[in-house]
Structures are given as structure tokens and as C-alpha cells.
Chain A
Amino acid sequence: MSEIDVELRNVTKKFGDFIAVDRVSVQVRDGEFFALLGPSGCGKTTCLRMIAGFELPSQGEILIRGEPMGETPPHKRPVNTVFQNYALFPHMTVFENVAFGLEMKKVARAEIKPRVMEALEMVRLPQLADRRPRQLSGGQQQRVALARALVNRPQVLLLDEPLSALDLKLRKAMQFELKELQRRVGITFIFVTHDQEEAITMSDRIAVMNEGLIQQVGDPIEIYERPNNRFVADFIGETNFIEGEVVRTNAEEAMVALGQGVQAPARPAADIQPGQIVTVAVRPEKISLRPNSEATNGSAVPATVEEAVYIGTDTRYLLRVAGKHLVVARVQNVTSDLDRNRPFQHGDQVYLSWPANGAQILTS
């Protein structure tokens, strides 16, 4: 069990009547790459700003290394921030920017230079030490901002949408680089993002937020495979939501009636009863298509192909189930034959199947 680095205990933040953060409790472990993920306005940045000390909680408590922060001002907290717009000081060179934190900590002059150069080497920019921020590209500014924060060897590094200002290709490269850097320095990273793919590929654990509330906390696989409500399932990746009524349920699987006598399997949820109206959430890539019912292992769902779109790696099917539900399925194109990667056409009758634990039952 690793130590808890940052803890939010029942933290609420109100701006006037608006509740930006609502009773959030979360624990970030030492050395973890932790993402706060959610749409804009969900309260994730406010959480980060409260940890940094730029905002104070209306209620609740923030602890860093077990120590309550109370009203400790930002300059006395053992955290550093990489800002969304980087906020590099325009009147200082790259070197002076990186040295600033050390000067404020009254680090000896002789020690400042080697530490600044070490930090710049860490982000592979030692050759740009004498430049001014405005002479750098977006990616270089981003890395200077990282060096400026990391040179202080903070307990926790806070990153506020650090990649959002970069173009797609650079963003992908920086995702990898940032993750690699975090592993090397071993500092706890708390990363705010609205990009679900970014959160999934980089984080050890993710807290999904919406409207000020924590929706789910878990590692990327848990969040993706076992979303515990409709918001999480919808926000992370693509999901089909199919309404139905629980027919029966046991330890292995639940059967849900979708209408017109069609039944589909799903992973049983703890608190469901037969007769209850629920939503079945199933990811498009979990669904297999067969031309006839015999080939599936019992629980085949009949459907009509509305549309079939070849997109290279996959073929996407838009299917109509039980005359009312529209379901998207994605089938990987494993063969290279020219005529076999779109075996079903508009109007074809097919049978869908998915493993019971590939479909989640959502009650809320």
C-alpha cells in the first residue's frame, strides 16, 4: 500500500450560488499519474487550483502528505503547476524562468546553474537557455514550463490541460514524453484534461468528474470496461445504450428483454430485480455479427443492417434491434480480401452476440 500524497476530503467550492465542486473526496497516491477528467466546467480545474492554493475550499479539507493545507498561500505549498497557457515570464530568458523558483527558495547561487541545466536537459532543451519564451515554439514552451516546475523537485506536480494548446501530432508525442518523464522523476502528477483518450493512455488512475461531482475513480481499464453510470460510459469512448426490462438474473449473467421477444445478456449488477427497467451499455467493438443464429452460443440478438461503412481498420454497422433500438457495431477487418471486409449490406438480417460481461447494466 503506497502512501497518500494528496487528499481531498469532502471538498466543496462555491462561487456565489454556483457549486463548482461538490463534496469531492479523492486520494492520490505517492508517485501516481492521476488524471482529473471531465467536460469543461465540471470542476476539475477548480480542484487543481484548490490544491495549488489559488482558491480556497468553501467546505472540506485538502491534505498534502497528510498535512492540512488550510489557508496556506500558494508560495508555501510543496506543489508546482504547469499552467494551460504555460505563463512563462516574457521578460526573462528560458534560464531565468527555470531559475526563478530556486532563487525564491534561496538556493545557493553555485547550485542554481547546474540544477537549471539539469532540468533543461531533462526536457532536452539545454541549447535554448538564452532564448526568450516568445522565440520558442509551442512544444518548446511546454517543455520549458515543465522544467521550470520540476527543477523545484515538488512533492506533487499539477498540470492544467498542458497539452491542449499543441497540435495533434505534437500532442501525441508529448503524451508519451510526459508519461516517460513522470516515470523517470517519480513525482506525483495530477493532470487535468477533457480529453478522454489522453487520460486513458497516460494515467495510472482517473477520476471522472461531471457537474462538480466525482462520477467514478479507477484505473483506465476499470473506467472503460466497468463504467458505473451512463455519464462515464458515454464520456469515455463510444457506447450503445439500449433500454430494456430485466427478465432474470443470477451470478453469471442477467437477461434483459429489449422488446419483440428479443433478449440480450449482460453482466449482472448487484441491485437489480426482474421486472426492473434498466439500460444496457455495450461498446461497439464487443459486438460480433453472424449471418445465422446457430453460429452464436445461444443468446443471439436478431437485427437488421441499416448501414455498413468501411473505415479501413474496421467496418462500422448501424443496426436496428427489435424494430426500435439503433445499435452501432464495429468489426475489425482481419482479412485482406477485397470482397470480404463488408460481408453484410443494407437490409441484411444478422444476429448479434456479445459476452455477458461485455455489457454493463446501468440503473442510473
Chain B
Amino acid sequence: MSARAARVVLSMCAALVAMSVLIAQERPMQLDDTKVPKGRPVPRMANGKPDLSGYWKGTTQTRPGGNIGKDLPGWKLPLTPAGEAALKHNLTATVDPEAVCIIGGIPRHNASGLPFEVLQGNNKITFMYWYSYFRLIPFTPGLKHSDDPDPSFFGEEIGRWEGDTLVIDSIGFKEEKVWIDENANPHSDALHVVERWTRPDYNHIHVETLIEDSKFYTKPFTYSRTWALGEADEQIQEYSCSENNVDAAHLGFGPGPIRPDGTRGYVDPAPLPPPVPKR
């Protein structure tokens, strides 16, 4: 390496170190679970049930993020022919609904990279999301689904406790303008989701999800995930999706390429121009 090239590399590294320091000051949206404390007792409500309240962040161990097929071999979803057609439609004729400020719904929010916040009461629990969306789930004993619920993005959600597990059973979903995950996989209005939420210890929340959709999937499949507790002073902030959504007019259809590891994005992006050496 020539002396000039060495100087360029050194100045570039110095600039990158400066930028990495700035980035390091940002509180990460994800946590490395190997560094999260384990085993601290679960907080409980006055009625003895686990308190699921907290500001919950994904972990870097969740891979591939954003893919509802995360737990399936090769991330291969069991699509029916109608499901294959719906996926093709999503990829070639729809922009990401969340990018045009449509609610992601369930189970997509459980596959999101964004943190969420839970507040639990005696008869209801609320899950609050960035984008200023929330879902409020009653778990009063004896609740039953409606015969013909109005379709919605979160569905008609009914909760119940099974021991220390909060079970949320949801039907009545929308069929249009929904992606089941960030990779544009589909779901239909036949979707039935059963979430089983637990708090294994103070610093973790976990969900086991059963996803049934006989129109678009040949068999039920599961999706599980663990999140870690954020800092005590962290919480959901204002996030008005429609305030200045300039990018909506520039978005192409679908999520773009999906990498071999199951995540969205380019495999080999062109490098940026080298940083400008500090004068």
C-alpha cells in the first residue's frame, strides 16, 4: 500500500470511528440477548397473574427478522395455489401497506423489528406500537367470538388466561391491503391466529403463535419469538406516519429482493464513496 493510500485509509477509519461513536449513543432498537439478565422473578398483578407490562425490544438472536416463516425449514411457507397467487400479487402489484400508513396488524406486528409496549389491567391488556397503533384485548372470562365480526387488521381478539399464559384468539381479519410480514407474504380473511404470551422472567416476554389460513396455507404453522425488556425510561414515542409521507410516491411494488438468509435487502450493495477526510 502506498503512503497516500495509507493516509486515505487512516482518515477514513477515523471518520468511521467518529460515526460509530455517534451510532453507539443511539439506544438500539434490538438487544443482544446474551447480555440481558436472566432468571429475575416475574412481576405479578394483585390477582397473581404475570404482569406482561413493559417496553419490549427484539433481540439480535431473532433471525430472519421480519419473516413469518422464521421457524420453518428454509423459511418455506406452505402456500396453497391461491396463496401463491396472492404472494405474486403482493410482490408485483402492491406497495408495503405499512409504508402507506395502513395498520400492519397481527401477526405482522409480532414479526416487526420495532419495539412495542404492553400495559396490563385486570380485565384488558393493550399492546402499543410505533406508528401510534394499538390493540386492546379483553380477557374477561366467558367472552366468545362474534358470528360475523367486521373485518379488521388486528382481527377480533379475545383473551383468556391458561395458568400463567395469556392466550389471544383472533379471527375476522381483512384480506385486502395486508402483508402477513415484511417480506410481502399474504394472508386471507380466513386467517385465525392464536397467540400464547408468557413472561419467562422479568427481562423477557415470549410468544408462541399458531397461524391457520385454509385459503392461503395448506396447513397451520407456528411462529415463536422472544423480546427483551428495554430501559425503565424508554417508551413508545409519537410517530405520525401520514405527516409527511413523501416516499409513498417513490415506492416500487413488493419489498424488493429477499436475501438467501430470508431477510429483505440487497446481497451486494455498491459501497458508498469514501468518507471525506476531516480537515
Real binding pair: no
